Chains A and B, each alone.
Chain A
Amino acid sequence: MSITVSNISKSYKSVKALENISFNVKEGELFGLIGPDGAGKTTLFRILTTLLIANEGTATVADFDVVLDYKKIRNNVGYMPGKFSLYQDLTVEENLNFFATIFGTTIEENYDLIKEIYVQIEPFKDRRAGKLSGGMKQKLALCCALIHKPKVLFLDEPTTGVDPVSRKEFWDMLKRLQQKGITILVSTPYMDEAALCDRIALIQDGKILQIDTPQAIVKHYPKKIYNVRADNTYQLIKSLKTYEYNHSVYPFGEFVHYTDRRADFNPKDLIQFLESNNLSNVEIEKTVATIEDTFMELAK
């Protein structure tokens, strides 16, 4: 096991940030922590990267205890905090060089590991890190976290505030790194990124709601789910919420995801109801649940 977390709890003064969290991450796995802001993801990362000490429970990273062997962990992991944490007044190359040096290595030594990412930012290597775009910053931060060939990589919300194209590129890179045998623990508030992980843990209010592969999580969604659309989405949501049999109503892109409480639900009833509420062009079709739906259902 690359990461084991057993019964970890952590509270700050009066706030319980983590409550009895347990999970394992296998070697070479891409494991996602999925949850909204304030769910406790960053706290968990800080405990695993030896920056914080849990109130209860134990954890190991690369077979080292996070409290007793913290120095060994610090030699063997790469950490990319949620906030951009490189030296803004140093250039791209200087940043990379600096992190290589303090980990006792050189850029050349591990160049093959970062090559694919670094070639994208290499044209800007003399630019100060503070002047890079969001996506570039994240790529540089990833390079810096990787430069010493860590066994385990911790990425705390690496794609927050990054444009969709860069986000996709970033996840492609993570996949490739995984193939090189690096265990990756990544957190994200974006549900669409969850599907790209091997396994995910849904986390909210410091508790883990479910741990499984993204496919299994979706498959176990207990209800039939429908895409509903009409000309006026706002009115549609309002009307659906007043429908006496509704189980859940969530906007989802141009559609509204709807589940019904009855087992023998007939969509035609709903169309009738909506049309009687002055909605036009109402369409209903069955769809498959996404991780977001599961999350919403579990978080209910």
Chain B
Amino acid sequence: MKRFIGFIKKEFYHIFRDKRSLFILFGMPIAQIMLFGFAITNEINNVDIAVLDHSKGATTTEIINKISASKYFSISQFINKESDIETIFKKGKVKAVLNFEKGFSKNLIKDHKATIQIITDATDPNTANTVSNYVNAILQQYQKELNKDIAITYQIVPQTRMVYNPELKSVYMFVPGVMTIILMLVSAMMTSISITREKELGTMEILLVSPIKPIQVIVGKVFPYIFLSIINATVIVLLSIFIFKMPVQGSLILLGFESVLFIITALALGILISTISATQQTAMMISLMGLMLPVILLSGFIFPISSMPLPLQIISNIIPAKWFIIIIKGIMLKGVGLQYLWKETLILIGMTIFYIGLSVKKYKIRLE
């Protein structure tokens, strides 16, 4: 036990004396959460749109006012002919053009039917889609107001309700993702680097020719990072609660327990990586390419798994991050308990046991 404590003490010295790893440990989580929370967002705000109004009637003015009154759009200019549309898109600032047909107001009153064309710049398909949906919604609303005194039979009125994230805040989606990335990065990459560093510097040679047991080396390496990752997870949760007003519907204790579980999974992966790589560089490359990319791309953090091609959907199952994201989304946003998340939890536990078993088997008690 004294040996073990001595080893852990040494590990803390390493961590606190290496400015680079300290930065990764504590700078990165805060920087990432701020970046994802503030800068990178799927929401649209103040999108510039242009209007081509052939009708110039009372109705069109009313519609235009409604649109510019919403916080999503700002009408940046009015154009007069069709050919200007192309020019204005090429400049790139305007993302959509509303084209009211000639005699829009008149047609609406006379024929009860008028057309408006919404042209969007689909170089960014997500924005284009959102913009057109939002404009549609505003038009629907307006239409309803027009029809409110007229009784129309057989009308289907869809009432959409977005549950768990009614305002569709993208930070709700990013926080679980960022938390997963950071825990993965800190835990897996840092441990794999710290073990391979011993190999690279030759100190592993001395450690091997000493009575310290492999399990003591591994646990001693991992222990400080469990501790530091828990601090990180706490910081992220606090930031998301207090800065981004993200709710935690479920139990904080369960969230903590699941986070520790995921940290251990990631650490086990880190140990596994270190047993197969000889240098710090290799360990870093494997961690980044083999862990970070799948975590970002295949975990369902950014791209929904259900819309991926089948082979990728299958692959996504072996990525621990996928299950952890399901778990934290469940706890934070839906407020569900272990009775709904036991399957994901078991999968993570299984993965952890598998990785640890594999790394103990692969851990070399000699140099070759």
Q: A residues bordering B, Cβ < 8 Å? A: 46, 49-53, 70-71, 74-75, 77, 79, 81, 83-90, 94, 97-99, 101-104, 144
Q: Are B211 and A98 in touch, CB under 8 angstroms?
A: no
Complexed CA–CA distance, A90 and B207 (Å): 15
Give the top 4 A-B pairs by smallest Cβ distance, nearest first. Answer: A101-B6, A85-B202, A79-B209, A51-B367
Partner among B2, B9, B14, B365 whose Cβ is within 8 Å of the Cβ of A89 = B14
Size band of the interface chain B makes with A: 20 to 34
**What residues on A are CB-neighbors of B9 within 8 Å?**
98
**What residues on B are CB-neighbors of A51 within 8 Å?**
205, 208-209, 366-367
Complexed CA–CA distance, A77 and B205 (Å): 13
Q: Are A81 and B202 in touch, CB under 8 angstroms?
A: yes
Q: Are A85 and B211 in touch, CB under 8 angstroms?
A: no
Q: Are B210 and A103 in touch, CB under 8 angstroms?
A: yes
Complexed CA–CA distance, A86 and B205 (Å): 10
Q: Are B211 and A89 in touch, CB under 8 angstroms?
A: no
Q: Are A104 and B211 in touch, CB under 8 angstroms?
A: yes
Besides A53-B368, A87-B201, A102-B7, 5 more A-B contacts (Cβ < 8 Å) are A50-B209, A87-B203, A88-B201, A90-B14, A103-B211
**What residues on A are CB-neighbors of B13 within 8 Å?**
87, 89-90, 94
**What residues on B are CB-neighbors of A46 within 8 Å?**
367
Complexed CA–CA distance, A44 and B366 (Å): 14
Q: Are B6 and A74 in touch, CB under 8 angstroms?
A: no
User: Which residues of B (190-237) have their CB < 8 Å from a CB of A?
Assistant: 201-203, 205-212
**What residues on A are CB-neighbors of B6 within 8 Å?**
97-98, 101-102
CB of B86 closer than 8 Å to a CB of A: no
Least distance between A87 CB and chain B CB atoms (Å): 6
Q: Are A85 and B209 in touch, CB under 8 angstroms?
A: no
Q: Are B366 and A85 in touch, CB under 8 angstroms?
A: no
CB of B81 closer than 8 Å to a CB of A: no
Q: Are B210 and A74 in touch, CB under 8 angstroms?
A: yes
Complexed CA–CA distance, A282 and B17 (Å): 62
Least distance between A96 CB and chain B CB atoms (Å): 12
CB of B3 closer than 8 Å to a CB of A: yes
Q: Are A79 and B367 in touch, CB under 8 angstroms?
A: no
Partner among A50, A77, A86 whose Cβ is within 8 Å of the Cβ of B203 = A86
Q: Are B367 and A52 in touch, CB under 8 angstroms?
A: yes
Complexed CA–CA distance, A49 and B207 (Å): 12
**Complex: chain A residue closest to B18, CB-CB:** A89
**What residues on B are CB-neighbors of A71 within 8 Å?**
211
